[in-house]
Structure 1
């Protein structure tokens, strides 16, 4: 078994973190890995939000029922299925938005965001960082979208 596969099979969710922020260099590596993920037709219909505001983090921690590790982690990212950019491009070119208003487009954006998140996880774990997906971000999608000021055609994943 090679080192990549060994790393993949030893993955665990970590819920206790050191109380220190990640360096800008490490964050850049993680974001670059995420943005390099496979994407349907290279649409890259996702966005990554770093949540730095402590009050917002606490509100998200409460919604997700994950207070201890959302508030403690060195960096907290929210991955967003994002078709907003495509909607802007379509409108700027006098095109209909019908192609974005279907299950396929929603699935593409959610899957793109998920694959990007997985790439970030693999990069983080290769740097000996622990991670934990916070699926509870979907406990109240509308409230999370409101807190994050998300535009139309986006969904927090």
Structure 2
């Protein structure tokens, strides 16, 4: 969802360089939260020489990392989508709607689709395409995963 040219520049308008670096690091820590918890838990467990504490620290620190970072990344998404000109609908319309419409147009121009629509007038075909396009764009918008959007744009670009 986030690998589109131009999105990074929009994120850079809202977040400065240090915030972007922090978001990227926390996104990676959240993606590999179990590794963070394992490393810290093992080091604390060996330091305290207790297997029960090792297991407890691994689980507790992993859970804490996951939930705290999750909340932080979602707040950053909220900050971005609440800034002027960056609502989910505006971002979708600006970067994704054209590509989805292009793919749908290609489907409507396959030989099978052209043959099946040969009895329809040109106006009926256009109306049918607009109806299907509107439904398809709406379905695509609501099925898109907007979770960690900012972090993914920063990480993958």
Give the TM-score normalised by structure 2.
0.33
- Give the greater-gyration-radius structure (CA): 2
More helix by share: 2
Q: Which structure has the highest strand share of the two?
A: 1
Instruction: Provide TM-score, normalisation by structure 1.
Output: 0.33
